[in-house]
Amino acid sequence: MEIAEDDRYSRQERFQPLGKEGQQLLGQSHVLIVGAGALGTSTAETLARAGIGHLTIADRDYVEWSNLQRQQLYTEEDARQRLPKAVAAKNRLQQVNSTIKIDAHVMDIRAEELESLIEGVDLILDASDNFDIRLIINDMSQKHRIPWIYGACVGSYGITYTIIPGKTPCLNCLLGTIPLGGDTCDTAGIIPQAVQIVTAHQTTEAFKILSGHPEALRGKLYSFDLWRNESMNVGIGDAKKESCLSCGPDAVFPYLSAANQEKTDVLCGRDTVQIRPAQRQTLNLKETADKLDRVNEGQIESNPFLVSFSVGAHRMVIFADGRALIHGTKDITEARKLYHRYLG
């Protein structure tokens, strides 16, 4: 039986707003996906099947059993081998579509790493797990005039927003407007349907940008809660600030500066990493302890000054200013992973 390769994208091409010309543009596009967890795997598979010509995937983590419930590219064998997520994602996507180019990078994304990946990229998709990285993506997007699509989900809640440099408010403009929260999938859980809704909106917006249809973009921030049967489109055009240091006329891209990035130190003579958030926080330690107690089965210890708990071979000590000590490791990447897993 002859394989009809030319028929591969026929159903997409029959969608009139896209057509053959739009499909050709998708095939010439390069998308960078930051993160290969639930959102990253879902968006990567959608774009690979759709024929995006070049995908670059960057992630610092490896596959664990708890990922298999929602991170759709991974298998039990990937978890047994603790295969890096970026590598496992590339392996699977090459089986899905062998005609596209896929680059996998096992790295902890900060400004320097992102700068090394940005050349030739047409669009950045956010599939990260914390706001430090998102603010770096935002500044890098503004610096290089590359659109990016913010996306996040936890529990049954999700949110997404498309940012076009020079036209829309950037993420820095929206700080204090959008709900940031402190919950993560490890503390509040997540249902896979929330992932799929965010994926659908992110990748549809990606199609519009890459196929040359910016007029079809939503132009609003979209959020939803599937369990509560709620959804909302919020017009935020007025949120764009002339004084914004990320996208205003006097932009200096503050989150690309070391002064505004998370600080990590391996403490001298101790098997401990200290992490300090880029901006000083004020945590409610009782609420933090209660939240962690729900997922750590009574291993929480607290006093008016700190919260301490064990996770595997590590002990985390969290202070009211957001600073944390991760005992039992000198590996900064591992320490960051634990910090963002439990503190968001």
pLDDT tens-digit profile of 6-59?
Answer: 789 999 999 999 999 999 999 999 999 999 999 999 999 999 999 999 999 999
For residues 188 and 294, is the Cβ–Cβ distance under 8 A? no
DSSP letters spanning 193-211: HHHHHHHHHHHHHHHHHHT
Which tokens go with 301?
Answer: 């210890």
Q: Domain 5-256: which topology?
A: Rossmann fold (3.40.50)
Q: What is the mean pLDDT of residues 178-193?
A: 74
Q: What angle do CA 266, 271, 273 make, to 5 degrees?
A: 35
1 pLDDT higher than 50: no
Contact 58, 116 (CB under 8 A): no
pLDDT in tens, 296-316: 655 788 877 778 888 888 888
- Mean pLDDT, residues 202-214 taken together: 97
Look at strands 123-126 and 221-225 and give their pairing.
unpaired
Q: Tell me the sheet residues that pair with 144.
A: none
Domain ranges of the chain: 5-256, 262-343
Beta sheet of 263-266, edge-to-edge order: 263-266, 272-276, 324-327, 314-319, 306-311, 301-303
Could you tell me which CATH class the domain 262-343 is placed in?
Answer: alpha beta
In what helix (H) or strand (E) does residue 163 lie, and over which residues does it extend? strand 157-163
**Amino acid type, 233:** N
Structure pTM?
0.81
- The SS3 assignment for 190 reads strand
Count of C-beta atoms within a 10 Å radius of residue 172: 20
State the sign of the Cα–Cα–Cα–Cα dihedral 328, 333, 339, 341: negative
Give per-residue pLDDT as tens, 324-340.
888 888 888 888 888 88
Cα 216 → chain centroid:
24
d(CA 247, CA 215): 21
Q: SS3 helix, strand, coil % of the chain, rounded to 5?
A: 40, 20, 40
The answer to whether the CB of 190 falls within 8 A of the CB of 163 is: no
Please list the residues that pair with 230 across neighbouring strands.
225
